[in-house]
Amino acid sequence: MFSKIMTITLGVFLFSATVSAATKIGLLDIRTALFASESAQNFTEKTVDQFKQQDLEVRAVGEEGQKLEQRLKNDAAIMSDSERAKLASDLEAKIQEYKYLKSKLDNALAEKRQEFLAESKPRLDKAINELVEEEGLTLLLPREAALYADEAMDYTQKVVDKLNKSK
């Protein structure tokens, strides 16, 4: 009985050693790889330039709203009811304008990001496939899936390098 257990244990041990020797596992932070690439940095610069005016407008409206709010807090005691009501109404209008402009800007930026991701996906997939083939990886996991892993298992920078070369 004891020899059967030892034989089974030894067999399981040898099988698992064979499997682990044939398995090469890598980790990849896809988001970092994509957004650290030169094309992502160029995209960011172009997007900032493209939406700079809208961003400034949103900020200006926000600052105007803050000034109105501060004035309402500071001067409410010395204002007449009609002045206070008018200022409160102006503040509410600024808040609505700010929300509208901010939402419009956020939606435009989200749309641009989606376009970039759609354009980048084929290049990212190609870079990952080349990496898997070159490194002989049998398993590539998202970096977030590992609680702990040796840095040598992280292939993120290699994917960034491949993306930069594939322009």
As a dihedral over the C-alpha atoms of residue 116, residue 125, residue 38, residue 159, rounded to 10 degrees, the angle is: 150
Domain presence at residue 16: no
What is the mean predicted confidence (pLDDT) over 85-93? 92
Residue 21 pLDDT = 55
Q: Is residue 91 assigned to a domain?
A: yes
Q: What CATH number has the domain bearing residue 103?
A: 3.30.910.20
| pLDDT, average across residues 59-70 | 94
Residues 18, 12: Cα–Cα separation, whole Å = 10
Choose between 19 and 51: higher pLDDT: 51
Question: Domain tally for the chain?
Answer: 1
Examine residue 6 and state whether it is found in any structural domain, yes or no: no
- Cα gap 167→165, rounded to integer Å: 6
The residue ranges of DSSP E strands in the chain, in sequence order, are: 25-28, 139-142
Instruction: Tokens for 44, please give them.
Output: 């960011």
pLDDT for res 12: 42
pLDDT digits (tens, 9 = 90+) for 93-144: 999 999 999 999 999 999 999 999 999 999 999 999 999 999 999 999 999 9
Q: Could you give the CA distance from residue 159 to residue 63 in angstroms, rounded to a whole number?
A: 42
pLDDT of residue 129: 95
* Bridge partners (DSSP) listed for residue 27: 141, 154
Q: Which structural domain range is residue 157 located in?
A: 24-165
